[in-house]
Amino acid sequence: MSSHEKLSAAANDRKARLAQLKSLKRKQAPTDDASTEDDSAALTRISMEPTSTDLAIVEELSVSSTYLSGRNYDPTTRNVKLGFDALPISDPTSTLEYKAEQLALDIKTAQQKELAEDKGLDLFKLQPKKPNWDLKRDLGEKIRGLEVQTENAIARLVRKRVEAQKRGQWE
Asked if residue 68 and residue 7 are part of one domain, the reply reads yes
Residue 103: inside a domain: no
Q: Is residue 118 a part of any domain in this protein?
A: no
Residue 109 in any domain: the answer is: no
Q: Summarize pLDDT for 84-132 with one digit per residue, the tens.
A: 666 667 787 888 999 999 999 999 999 999 888 877 766 777 766 666 7
Q: Residue 77: its pLDDT value, please? A: 76
Structural domain containing residue 134: 127-171
Q: Which of 80, 112, 146 is the last residue of a domain?
A: 80
Q: Which pLDDT score is estimated for 23?
A: 85
In the prediction, which pLDDT does 47 show?
46
Q: Kindly compute the dihedral angle of the four CA atoms of residues 122, 123, 129, 130, in this order, to the nearest 10 degrees.
A: -150
Q: Is residue 163 part of a domain?
A: yes
Domain-located, residue 17: yes
DSSP letter assigned to residue 42: H
pTM, full prediction: 0.26
Residues 76 and 134 in one domain: no
Give how many domains the chain has, as a whole number.
Answer: 2
**Does any domain span residue 92?**
no
Note whether residue 170 is domain-resident. Answer: yes
Which residue, of 44, 59, 80, is where some domain finishes?
Answer: 80
pLDDT of residue 153 exceeding 90, the answer is: yes
d(CA 69, CA 127): 78
> Is residue 145 predicted with pLDDT exceeding 50?
yes
- What is the tens place of the pLDDT at every residue in 42-97? 444 444 555 666 656 656 656 655 666 667 777 777 777 777 666 667 787 888 99
Beta bridge partners of 74: 79
Q: Does the residue 120 lie in any domain?
A: no
Per-residue confidence (pLDDT) for residue 85, from 0 to 100: 67
The residue-averaged pLDDT of 2-25 equals: 88
Torsion angle (degrees, nearest 10) of CA 88, 30, 43, 73: 30
> Is the domain of 8 the same as that of 70?
yes
